[in-house]
Amino acid sequence: MRNKDLIKELNVVPPHAQDIHFSTKYSTSYFTQFQACLWKQHKSYWRNVPYNAVRLSFGAAVGIMYGVIFWSLGKRKGTRQDIFNSVGAMSTTIGFLSSQSAATVRPVAMAERTVFYREAGAGMYSALPYAFSQVPSFLCTN
């Protein structure tokens, strides 16, 4: 009973009190939030051993595979079709590697999503610096 009375007493707003007002929603600038998110993402990616093991082993295997397939493709430059074959081989390789890199990072990003919801809900950072920090983090790890 005493606690309930204390709660009722503390919930009454004095007549001369003003509402609390903050000039910004977050205590730091967007750039500082970006730096903090970038640091957090960097640590998150490099501490994930299964992700790095799959990424590095896949890169080595694909490098060997494409090296064997396109062994002497660069030496053939005699005709226009040889140049087209080289460009097509490079674009195919880049497309395949980029789609596989995106597939390997997907589970890490899905696990990070729940962390983002929790931290953004607590007001630690905005979604904009978080999203911008994802891009260099992903590019530096791939």
DSSP letter for each residue of 12-46? SPPTT------SSSSSS-HHHHHHHHHHHHHHHHH
Indicate whether 50 belongs to any domain: yes
Indicate whether 8 belongs to any domain: no
* Tens digit of each residue's pLDDT (9 = 90 or more) over 25-50: 888 888 999 999 999 888 888 888 88
pLDDT for res 22: 72
Indicate whether 11 belongs to any domain: no
Indicate whether 100 belongs to any domain: yes
Closest CA to 94 of 102, 106, 83: 102
Task: Match 């790890």 to its residue by tokens.
Answer: 141
Indicate whether 3 belongs to any domain: no
Domain of residue 121: give its range: 27-141
- Annotate 24-50 with b (16+ C-beta within 10 A) or e (fewer): eeeeeeeeebbebbbebbeebbeebee
CA-CA-CA-CA torsion sign (69, 93, 42, 123): negative
Of 68-72, 111-115, 128-132, the poorest mean pLDDT is in 68-72
* Tens digit of each residue's pLDDT (9 = 90 or more) over 74-114: 777 788 888 888 888 888 888 888 888 888 888 888 888 88
Number of domains the chain is built from: 1
Indicate whether 37 belongs to any domain: yes
